[in-house]
Chain A
Amino acid sequence: MKTETAPEAPAASPAEPRPPARVLPVWANPRLGLLIVIAALVVLFSSLTPAFLDPRLTLAPLQADISVYVVVGLAQLAVLSLGHMNMAVGRMAALSTFAMGLVYDRLGVPLLVGLLVGLAVGAGIGALAGLLIAKTGVNSFVVTLALDFGLLGLVTILYTWATGGVSFAVQPSGLSALRFDTFADYCTGEVCGPRIPLVVPIAVAAALGVGLLFRHARLGREILMTGSNTVAAELSGIPTHRRIVAAHAVSGLLAALAGFLLAANNGAFSANIGESFLLPSFLAPVLGGTLLAGGAVSVLGTALGATLTQVIYKGLNLLQFSLEELKLYIGLVLLAALSLDRLRAVIAERRAVSTS
């Protein structure tokens, strides 16, 4: 689905000696499993209801949804790399989109400027969370949970103050293009683009950026080392406090971007943006094989995990399942996927042991 290379999870922090890395067989790769499941579901849904392959009504909105939730998953991934959690991911998005809506509404700035303001707000609030965690040593779960409570109140109060309601009426120019247009609407002569919504490249760029950060950038590698073994990282001269702040700032920034993408898809900057982010933010990375323990991430896995959940939502939705029923199946899929993943890892490990 996505084009970027998979940043392979570092097997262990370089600080601790390990036995020679076991190379797991190809079939034990969770990303491959996800790809197969996605393909099987697409075949299943399109045979059950031909509407699933309708490019305008199904596939284009599906890609737009996937784009949002890939970025949501990446926002969580950024702190999972540390072994932290961001329970406020949805509310950070809400606060950032409020800031975007406010500058569009009051200052009439162009689309890009407002986006940058929102990203800065997101990064700022994320950095604040990171700072609290790093300075006090309090569990990230508690800090971001408390922050979520606080922002939940703040966002509604702010919207009531600024708009007297729950959303901004403003439509910055270019927003409706992001919402409705696909590349098929832009032609040079006879050649038109594929029917891909304009928001997709933004998500792909975000995934590429995060992938490069954790694979090649010094900052990303040091964040992963901090997540893998904080003490060892500290002893190796890594400023772990600053890396914790950085990872949370990236998480806030990506949450803000996801909020912007959702606002573009909905066509409105409203207070309920981010309400549905928390569960998918964990689903995507965890399905993709990222552990909660920290020290290892998979960007490609996250993209595939987000794709899988959105394909299930869309497919069951077309088959007239209600939203609540969908949840039942999403939960079951998550449990099944995780159990299978565990089983696969155990079998692969046993084989590796018995052959060596």
Chain B
Amino acid sequence: MRSLVRTNEFTLAVIAALGFAALAVATDFNLLTAGTLDAFLRFLALPIVIGLAQMVVLAVGQMNLSVGVLTGFCAVASGWLMIDAGLPAPIAVLAALALGATVGLVNGLLVIFTRINGFIVTLATMTILEGLRYGVNGTGTYQGYSPGLREFGQASLAGVPVVFLLAVAIAVAVALFFRRTVPGRHLLASGGNPFAARLSGISNDRALVLAHTLSGLLAGFAAVIVVAAFGSVNASIGDDLLLPSFAAPIIGGVALAGGMISVTGTVLAAFLVRLVDVSQSQFDINRRWVDLIIGAVVLGAVLLGQFRDKLSGGQR
């Protein structure tokens, strides 16, 4: 029990619960009305998935700067498939996922073949994808595509938005992957200590490629959520996703050095960021204060983690 209380996830969960309760009281329980709660959870789906997309590369000690723009590119591409190419929605969805995974695979291959730092490789692919994202439809907007897909984006199951359930399902799948499967354990081993992993017969290169491919695939899922829940897509999607993609795992206690992940932490952190977002709209605060607060929260979370490590280190 004590060890549970000491975890970062527990702290985050308490803060999230307190924050949620405080916001509910402060808004005269407006937050708990069906419509507000529905919107709260519906737009929580994207930050969760985008945070996880960043987390899987952090697991091997890499970064993926292209994650936000890739989401936008996949979303615009699936819009193109449905509107301009006239393909049915299921094919467009699968294509978005495949496209994401392919770009992720290319990122991974570039990293292992050129031996250039992943930060730089994804910086370059991010720039390229920005051009491609714009190239699909210029400044135009795709809307009025598949009613079925948009209904899926607006649908609720027992009062909970389906896209949010999808995001939770993805989070569970990612958690199981890292906890229960051999490739998942290999990924963490390689991220924690590449040298030891190699001596144990784990291919670090394969781990890098797998992590980047998974990251791309998750960006593809994020694109599907955008296409379904937003109801329209254009070339600006993904621009504001890069910083949140880092904020969620970092607040959630994921180490940048690799080898250590926390799916629960990432999800809870996304929840916290969403909470700040909602309070801004509820109280009509200047949008810019939110950035200031999130910056402070990220730094605070990291310092807290450092402080905790020092304390537990002292006790041992």
Chain A positions within 8 Å of B, measured between CB atoms, are 85, 132, 136-139, 141-143, 145-154, 156-157, 160, 279, 282, 286, 291-292, 322, 324-332, 334-335, 338-339, 342
Contacts and interface: CB of A to CB of B under 8 A. Distances in A.
A161 to B, nearest CB: 10
Nearest to B123: A282
Contacts of B303: 136, 138
B164 interface: no
Interface string B242-282: 01001100100000110000000000000000000000000
Contact of B292 (A132, A139, A143, A157): A157
A150 B292 contact: yes
23 contacts: A138-B302, A139-B256, A142-B256, A142-B299, A146-B295, A146-B296, A146-B299, A148-B295, A149-B247, A150-B291, A150-B292, A150-B295, A151-B295, A154-B288, A157-B286, A157-B289, A160-B288, A324-B130, A327-B127, A327-B134, A335-B110, A338-B121, A342-B116
Interface string B274-316: 0000000000001011111111101100110010000000000
B144 interface: no
A286 B120 contact: yes
A331 B124 contact: yes
A154 B287 CA distance: 11
A326 B289 CA distance: 33
Nearest to A143: B299
Contacts of A338: 114, 116, 120-121, 124
Contacts of A137: 306
Contact of A328 (B115, B127, B246): B127
A339 B115 CA distance: 9
Nearest to A324: B134
Q: Which of B119, B123, B290, B294 has the most CB of A within 10 A?
A: B123
Contacts of A153: 288-293, 295
Nearest to A155: B288
Contact of B120 (A142, A143, A292, A332): A292
Contact of A325 (B63, B115, B135, B286): B135
Nearest to B130: A327
A279 B264 CA distance: 32
A146 B250 CA distance: 10
A85 B127 CA distance: 19
A136 B306 contact: yes
B128 interface: yes
B141 to A, nearest CB: 15
Contacts of B130: 324, 327-328, 331
Contact of B298 (A145, A154, A331): A145
Contact of A152 (B128, B129, B246, B288): B288
Interface string B98-136: 000000000000100011110111011111111111110
Given A153-B288, A324-B134, A330 B302 contact: no
A138 B121 CA distance: 24
B76 to A, nearest CB: 12
Contacts of A335: 110, 121, 124-125, 128
Given A327-B130, A338-B116, 12 more contacts: A132-B299, A143-B299, A146-B296, A146-B299, A148-B243, A153-B289, A291-B117, A326-B131, A328-B130, A328-B131, A332-B128, A335-B121
A151 B257 CA distance: 25
B306 A327 contact: no
Contacts of B110: 335
B131 A292 contact: no
A338 B302 CA distance: 33
Contacts of B125: 331, 335
A11 to B, nearest CB: 19
B235 interface: yes
A334 B124 contact: yes
B243 A145 contact: yes
A150 B289 CA distance: 8
A151 B243 CA distance: 13
A2 B123 CA distance: 27
A330 B130 CA distance: 11
A154 B290 CA distance: 10
B126 to A, nearest CB: 7
Nearest to B119: A292
A339 B123 CA distance: 14
B302 A152 contact: no
Nearest to A323: B134
Contact of B135 (A136, A328, A334): A328
A327 B125 CA distance: 10
Q: Which of B121, B127, B292 has the most CB of A within 10 A?
A: B127
Contacts of A136: 302-303, 306
A16 B77 CA distance: 52
Contacts of A157: 286, 288-289, 292
A298 to B, nearest CB: 15
A149 B295 contact: yes
A149 B296 CA distance: 8
B128 to A, nearest CB: 3
A292 B122 CA distance: 14
Contact of B134 (A138, A154, A325): A325
A141 B125 CA distance: 19
A330 B126 CA distance: 11
Nearest to B63: A141
Contacts of B302: 136, 138, 142-143, 146
Contacts of A332: 124, 128
A328 B132 contact: yes
Contacts of B126: 331
Contacts of B119: 85, 292
A286 B123 CA distance: 11
Nearest to A85: B119
A332 B132 CA distance: 12
Given A146-B302, A153-B290, A157-B288, A331 B128 contact: yes
Nearest to B133: A324
